[in-house]
Chains A and B, each alone.
Chain A
Amino acid sequence: MKAANEMDDQMDDVKIPALEEIVDRNQVWSRMAAKYGVENPVPPWKTSLDGLCDALDQASCDPNGSAVMGIPDFKERRDEEDTLSATVYADLPYPENQLVALAHSLLARGVISEGELRQRLSSIRTRLEA
C-alpha cells in the first residue's frame, strides 16, 4: 500500500486497460441520449454514483477502516479525480470522468484489483442483458 502523497503523484501514470477499453467504447451519456432522443442532462446512474462517493467518504472517516483498506479520504478522492480528469481522462465528459476517475483511484490504490473488476463487469452485463 502506498502513502497518500506518493499515490497522488503517481495516479495518472498507472495504466488500467479495463478502464481504457470503456473509454474507447465511448458510450458517454451525451452520445447515448442523442442516439435515443433522451432529454435528461445526466445519466440515470449519477445519483447512485453520488451515493457511492458519500458512502466512501463516510467509510474513510472511520478510524478503524480506511487505513487498512487503502480507500481515499474525501480530499484525496477529489484531488485524484481532478488530476485524472485533466490527464488520463481529459477526453471524457462529466460525470463519466468522475466515475472512471473513481474507479482508477480504487484500482491504483489496490482497493479493487483489475481482475476482479473485469470479472464483475462481465457478470453484471450478463445479468442485465438476461
Chain B
Amino acid sequence: MTDHAHDHDHAHDHDHDRTVKPMVEEITDFEVLEIALRELCIEKGIFTAEEHRRFTEFAEQIGPTPAARLVARAWLDADFKALAIAEPMTASKEVGVDWLEPTGFGTPSDFTAFQILENTPTVHNVIVCALCSCYPRPILGNSPEWYRTPNYRSRLVRFPRQVLSEFGLYLGDDVEVRVQDSNQKHRFMVMPMRPEGTDGWTEDQLTEIVTRDSLIGVAVPKAGVTTNVIVDTRAAMHPVGE
C-alpha cells in the first residue's frame, strides 16, 4: 500500500464526526463580559496585555501534580521527607516549583513562607483560609470551588470534624484535628500518611493516589482512589445582611 492509499483508507476507517470533541457553538454573554473587562482594564493602564497573558499561562499550567509527587517521593525517601519538613521550599524546587518565582515573572502576593504539615497516626492537618481563599497555588493548582466558599471557611474553623465528615472523612477521637489558617504571607499543604496496600509501589503509582483533597486534608489517600470527592457547595448559614 502506498502512503497515499494508507491515508485514504485511514480517512474512511473512522467516523471523524465522533472523534472531534463537541464545543459550545455560540458566543455567550459571560465570555464576552470577560473579554470586555480585560480589554477595558488594559486600555485604562491598570495592567498590560503581556501581564495578563503571563498570569493566564500560569493559571493554565498549575495543578496538584507537583505536590503529589513531593509526597510520594517523601514516602519513599526518608531523607527527602526530612528535607520537605525542614526546608519545604527547597523540596518544592526538586519537584519543579520555585516559591519565590512561581510564575517565572514574580508574584502578586507578599508571600514569605510555605510549610508542609505532616500527618501522623495521632495528628490530622487540614488547611483553610478563613479570611478569603489563600491557597498554595504554585504547588497545588487552583483551589476548588468549595474551598473558596464562606461556608467552608467559617465552619471548618469552628466544626472541623463535622465538616470533614461531610467529605466522607471520619476521624477517631484519638486523632487530634489541626486546622491551619493560611494567609497571603503563609501557605500550607498537608503531607498525608502513606496508606496500607501500597508496598512495593513506584513513585509514579504513589503520586496517582495523592489527591488534591488529601493535600488539603479533607481526605486521606487510599490504594486505588485517584479522584477527589464531589461535594455540594453550600450557601453560608448566616448570609450577608442577617
Contacts and interface: CB of A to CB of B under 8 A. Distances in A.
A38 B24 contact: yes
B197 interface: no
A31 B168 CA distance: 29
Contact of A69 (B44, B106, B239): B44
A125 B47 contact: no
A87 B30 contact: no
Given A74-B184, A86-B239, A27 B40 contact: no
Contact of B46 (A37, A59, A96): A59
Contacts of A90: 235
A47 interface: yes
Interface residues of A, number: 59
Given A50-B142, A111-B44, A128 B32 contact: yes
Interface in B19-68: 21-41, 44, 46-47, 51-60
A74 B56 CA distance: 17
B90 interface: no
Contacts of A7: none
Interface in B190-242: 233, 235-236, 239-241
Interface in A48-70: 48-52, 54-59, 61, 65, 69
Q: Which of A52, A95, A111 has the most CB of B within 10 A?
A: A52
B39 to A, nearest CB: 6
A5 to B, nearest CB: 14
B15 interface: no
B33 A121 contact: yes
